[in-house]
């Protein structure tokens, strides 16, 4: 009985798990039934012993009883009910413990698979969102480039149209005043060459320093002014170079247009002649 109570206390610590309450109750019922059967057997044996004792006290008639020798059992084959009960309880406990371990191992495996599946889903969602973001950013950049290119082309076409209109007006205005302009140019005298113009411009811009009478502080201020002037000249040089590139580009575009126009005029003339 003490061993059964210990087993019940051990099993009661595990019975918190819902999935194994039924198995625990079945094992407990089997153990209780075995205990009751053993108690009944013990009581029957006691009653038989008492009856035998009473019969021994009574006088018995003398009967001829042959000498029957009971079978001698070796010491190792004696039946120990406590040992059998203990082994049965240990077997049931081990089976229950193995079932609990199997349940928890399968449950842990399922939880690990679920976590890995969730991680894969989140990773795929993040990859898809990143791809969509990159695609949207590329689309925005492409639209911006197209818009800039469109505005640049429109500005170039507008500028070219304005220049063509100005040239046409200038040509029309110069037709009537051509002789007058030639006379004015003749009155002005000989024009300067490009080299002479450059030399004259440099002489005008190159000024004497006059730094002999300046002290250290004034010399520093003069050097700072010269440095600022030099940076300004470099900036103007860069602007003029960019302007020159732009003008060369415009000239090439105009030449191409003129050549295309002349080529188209020749084709129209040939077609007219062929029709005639």
Q: Which run of H or E residues covers position 75? A: none
Please state, in angstroms and as integers, the Cα–Cα distance from residue 59 to each residue in 55, 65, 66, 107, 135, following that order.
Answer: 8, 16, 20, 73, 115
Does residue 44 form part of some domain? no
Into how many domains does the chain fold? 1
Does residue 127 form part of some domain? no
Does residue 16 form part of some domain? no
CA distance 145 to 6: 84
Domain that holds residue 239: 217-251
Confidence grade of residue 102 (pLDDT, cut at 50, 70, 90): very high
Confidence grade of residue 108 (pLDDT, cut at 50, 70, 90): very high
| Mean pLDDT score, 174-200 | 59
Does residue 221 form part of some domain? yes
Confidence grade of residue 14 (pLDDT, cut at 50, 70, 90): very low
CA distance 201 to 214: 28
Does residue 233 form part of some domain? yes
**Contacts by 102-105, CB closer than 8 A, 24 or more apart:** 103/17, 103/19, 103/20
Helix intervals (H) in 58-80: none
Does residue 188 form part of some domain? no
Q: CB neighbours (10 Å) of residue 1?
A: 9
Does residue 146 form part of some domain? no
Q: Is pLDDT above 60 for 7?
A: no
Does residue 238 form part of some domain? yes
For residue 222, the model assigns a pLDDT of 83
């Amino acid at each position: 009985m003490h061993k059964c109570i210990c087993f019940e206390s051990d099993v009661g610590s595990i019975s918190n798990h819902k999935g194994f309450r039924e198995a625990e109750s079945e094992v407990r019922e089997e153990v209780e039934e075995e205990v009751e059967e053993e108690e009944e057997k013990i009581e029957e044996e006691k009653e038989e012993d008492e009856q035998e004792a009473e019969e021994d006290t009574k006088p018995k008639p003398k009967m001829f009883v042959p000498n029957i020798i009971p079978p001698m059992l070796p010491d190792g084959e004696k039946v120990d009910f406590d040992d059998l009960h203990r082994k049965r309880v240990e077997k049931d406990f081990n089976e229950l413990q193995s079932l609990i371990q199997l349940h928890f191992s399968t449950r842990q495996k399922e939880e690990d698979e679920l976590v890995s599946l969730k991680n894969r889903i989140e990773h795929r969602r993040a990859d898809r969102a990143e791809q969509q973001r990159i695609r949207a950013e590329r689309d925005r950049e492409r639209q911006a480039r197209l818009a800039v290119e469109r505005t640049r082309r429109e500005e170039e076409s507008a500028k070219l149209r304005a220049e063509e209109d100005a040239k046409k007006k200038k040509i029309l205005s110069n037709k009537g005043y051509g002789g007058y302009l030639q006379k004015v140019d003749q009155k002005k005298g000989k024009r300067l060459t490009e080299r002479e113009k450059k030399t004259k411009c440099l002489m005008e811009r190159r000024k004497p320093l006059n730094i002999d009478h300046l002290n250290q502080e004034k010399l520093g201020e003069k050097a700072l002014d010269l440095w600022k002037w030099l940076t300004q000249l470099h900036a103007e040089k860069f602007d003029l170079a960019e302007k020159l590139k732009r003008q060369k580009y415009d000239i090439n575009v105009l030449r191409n247009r003129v050549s295309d126009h002349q080529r188209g005029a020749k084709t129209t003339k040939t077609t007219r002649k062929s029709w005639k």
